[in-house]
Structure 1
Amino acid sequence: MDPSFSQWIRPLVAVTVGSLIAFRAHRKNSLSTSGAIAGFFVMSLHVFVGFRFAAMIFAFFFTSSALTKKGQDTKRLIDPEFKQGGQRNWIQVLANSGIASVLIVALWVLTEGKDQCMNSKDSALITALIGGVIGHYCCCNGDTWSSELGVLSNDRPRLITTFKPVRKGTNGGVTKTGLLAAAAGGSVIGVSYVLLELLTIRCGSDRVLKQLLVIPLTTVAGLCGSIIDSLLGATLQFSGFCSIRQKVVGNPGTTVKRISGLSILDNNAVNFVSILLTTILTSIACLYIF
């Protein structure tokens, strides 16, 4: 890549793309004001470090935002914290992008701004970091797709720890539709990564088939990330039915009958921990595969 492009044009492109997407997301109620500000910095960073990383965060953001807006009338009746358009604030933005942002900064420093393919024989650390970023967005996208489509399923969810039927909106409740959606969400991240890597980086003809292995890996990572999230939600996140609001809520109260879980983690914490675990597991898997 021409050094002058990296030095001048790439930062300009990153800031321009980040600001346009953040502004559009704010106008469409996908992000609150604080979320748009955080989103601007996060998306600009991803574009600056590498287009394949930008492809993953954009695939996650645009597909998840679209699915969040699907079936809003139904979701309004189930979710006690429903927001029109699914507005995400800065905490939610960072919970879903913070770990990946740290990893790509580390990659940028270690590679001195040069794009490298995953090849553990050349650099196990680079491979592990790239794998971690991939796993991060597989978990984010898989879990969001699972939640947004699973709640619209006609099937009654079952608590992942006991397989007993529970009310829609219960943390840790899973459906077949939701699990399939999680796998599909992960595969979308893999496809976006592979396409941009093939278009922007020369890894050698002997590495092309290995690159394609990212797609089945991300499919599994999306499913696993959603399962981990559900296990944490069913055990460490409180769910109870409020007799007044007639909805499943996340905090105990005098009018709330407990369904499952302990009041240890809130939704953002559950997301963060599940993302962290999926990031680590995918990173390790990439060391063996690539």
Structure 2
Amino acid sequence: MTSTVRRAGAFALVGALSLAVPLMDRLFSRPVATVAAGAPFLAIAAVALALSDDSAIFELFARPGDRRDGRLYGLAGFALAIAVLSAFGTYAGLSIPAFVASVIVLSGGNLAAHAARDRGVEPFGAMTAFVAGSLLAGTGGYLAAAAILNHPTALPRVVFLAATGALIGALVRSMLFERDDPVVLLAISLLLWLFADLSIAVSATGITAALAVTIALGYVSYALETASIPGMLTGVLLSLLTLVVGDVGWFAMLITFFGLGGLSAKLRYDRKVKRGIAEPNEGARGSGNVLANSVVALFAVIAHAASPRMGAVPEGLFLFVFSGAVAAAMSDTLSSEIGGLYDDPRLITTFEVVEPGTDGGVTWQGELAGLSGAALIAGIGAVAFDLGAVGIGVVVAAGLVGMTVDSVLGATVEGGFVGNQGVNFLATLVAGLAAGVLAITTGTIAV
């Protein structure tokens, strides 16, 4: 066993101590439990900072940077993050099993990833090991904490939460420095607390099918190089949430965008390279691009799950927000990737001819491709949800609004205070809002 695996195992043991938090919550009243929950980890952090750099414990936990500094900052940061989050969660009455799962998802996943690397596994394989190890460890941690608290549990729901935590952990680690445990732990905890608080019905068949479908699609997207590892993880996470929190119809719209959007980036890639308009990394989309185009849709899915608590929200509102945002993302992607292959684009604000690839430049071929993309998403929505003629028109119109907003922003503000990903986000946001407003004003959904 190498030192990196031993170190990961030691961190996993520290993470397992989070099981003391539900015990404290069960034994003491909330004010006392709040203090008691974080105390052991504050003690670990203090010891970590006080240890001599020639001790055996220092050698066990030390990362390369710790050896340079002569202090166990990695262990101290990990323990402090657990202490703060455990105290906050206990005080606020948030799900303690979800918190324990968050800690063990991270520490168990790290151990699995290091063990895979120790055997010479490539980065994709190590990431897969992290997700698999996190899923198993998080499920076990949640069930153990729930047992200590005598809380009823449904295994499919626990697996869903653990899988969500595993994917968000892998994503944040791939986007940031993977040893930044406090940031990763914060991201996992906040998301799991959110979903633990929502009334999401998860069946054994549903979570099994959702995991199988999303994992298969993630592997295909990576194998076909339509997405980088972070981009693939983002797509898998969004697909899982859409399948479980929404349903198959929501997922069908999202996966159509992911699939066709990714393939369109590779369409005549060599020609795009010569024109200077090609996506980097052979057209593989990264997490920033995927998130910028999908975060509004993700919000709509989560808001749909929370809508039973929002008595004044019209039924079906967030379905149209979701559909409009996805239609805009599809419309803009196809118009850019296909329209960029044609000559003599015109700037949308002045209609003067500009060079291919100029921000805000449009061609009639690209506009037609964008219209087709929006119509495709609307058609899927019509089949899945029986939107009706007016509903289809609402989704198509929202998609075109988003595509146009993207072009206008590209011609006016992109490259200054707003980058390409920011423009994509704003365009999908406007499209989602437009779809919601149009659905209400046209009477497509009842107020």
Bin for the TM-score computed over the shorter chain: 0.7 to 0.9
Judge conservation of contact 1:225–1:274 (CA < 8 Å) in 2: yes
Question: What is the distance in 2 between the residues matched to 1:82 and 1:97?
Answer: 18
Give the corresponding residue for 1:147: 336
Answering whether residue 219 of structure 2 is matched by residue 23 of structure 1, we say yes
Distance 1:69 1:213 in 2: 34
In the other structure, the counterpart of 1:247 is none
Deviates more, 1:172-181 or 1:76-85: 76-85
CA distance in 2, matches of 1:123, 1:135: 21
Q: Which has the higher contact order (CA 8 A, sep 6+)?
A: 1
Q: CA deviation at 1:282?
A: 1.0
Q: For this pair of structures, how many residues does the alignment match?
A: 242
- 1:158-197 matches, cutoff 5 A: 158-197=346-385
Q: Tell whether the 8 Å contact from 2:342 to 2:356 is kept in structure 1 after alignment.
A: no
Deviation digits for residues 66-117 of structure 1 (CA, Å, limit 9, x no counterpart): 22221111111123663354111111111111111121112123249xxxxx
Q: State the distance in 2 between where 1:76 and 1:214 align.
A: 39
1:56 aligns with 2:233: no
1:163 aligns to what SS in structure 2?
Answer: coil
Is residue 280 from structure 1 mapped to residue 399 from structure 2 by the alignment? no
State the AA in 1 paired with 2:290. V
Q: Structure 2: give runs of 5+ residues left out of the alignment.
A: 1-155, 157-200
Cα distance between partner residues in 2 of 1:141 and 1:223: 10
Instruction: Decide whether the 8 Å contact of 1:124 with 1:287 is kept in 2.
Output: no
Q: Tell me the TM-score normalized by structure 1.
A: 0.78
| Separation in structure 2 between the aligned mates of residue 55 and residue 6 of structure 1, nearest angstrom | 19
User: Aligned-pair distance for 1:141?
Assistant: 0.3
Per-residue CA deviations over 1:209-268 (Å, capped at 9, x if unaligned) read x52333222222222211100000000013xxxxxxxxxxxxxxxxxxxxxxxx111100
Q: Corresponding residue for 1:107?
A: 304
Partners of 1:146 and 1:170 in 2: how far apart? 13
Equivalences for residues 69-80 of structure 1 within 5 A: 69-79=266-276
**How far apart are 1:285 and its partner, in Å?**
0.3
- SS of match in other structure, 2:353: coil
Matched with 1:248 is none
Contact 1:146 1:180 in 2 (8 A): yes
- Which secondary structure does the structure 2 equivalent of 1:152 belong to? coil
Check 1:53–1:67 CA distance in 2 against 1; reply closer, same or farther (3 A cut): same
User: Does 1:226 pair with 2:403?
Assistant: yes
Once residues 282 and 210 of structure 2 are traced to their aligned partners in structure 1, the CA distance between those partners, rounded to angstroms, is: 25
CA deviation after TM superposition for structure 1 residue 127, in Å: 2.8
Amino acid at match of 2:333: T
8 Å Cα contact 1:157/1:174 also seen in 2: yes
TM-score using structure 2 length: 0.51
Secondary structure (helix, strand or coil) at the match of 1:237 reads: coil
Counterparts in 2 of 1:109 and 1:55: CA distance versus 1, 3 Å: same
Distance 1:88 1:39 in 2: 10
Question: Identity of counterpart residues, as a percentage?
Answer: 27
Among 11, 19, 33, the residue aligned to 2:229: 33
Assess, with a 3 A threshold, how the Cα gap between structure 1 residues 23 and 67 changes in structure 2: closer, same or farther. Answer: same
Contact 2:272/2:278, CA 8 A, preserved across alignment: no
Q: Which residue of 2 aligns with 1:136?
A: 325
**Stretches of structure 1 lacking an aligned partner (at least 5 in a row):** 113-121, 199-209, 239-262
Residue 242 of structure 1 is matched in structure 2 by: none
Asked if the contact 1:56–1:137 (Cα under 8 Å) also holds between the matched residues in 2, the reply is: yes
More strand by share: 1
Evaluate the alpha carbon distance shift between residue 224 and residue 82 of structure 1 in structure 2; reply closer, same or farther with a 3 A threshold.
same
Point out the structure with max Rg over C-alpha.
2
Contact 1:129/1:283 (8 A) holds in 2: yes
Q: 1 or 2, which has the higher helix percentage?
A: 2
- Does the 8 Å contact 2:226/2:262 carry over to 1? yes
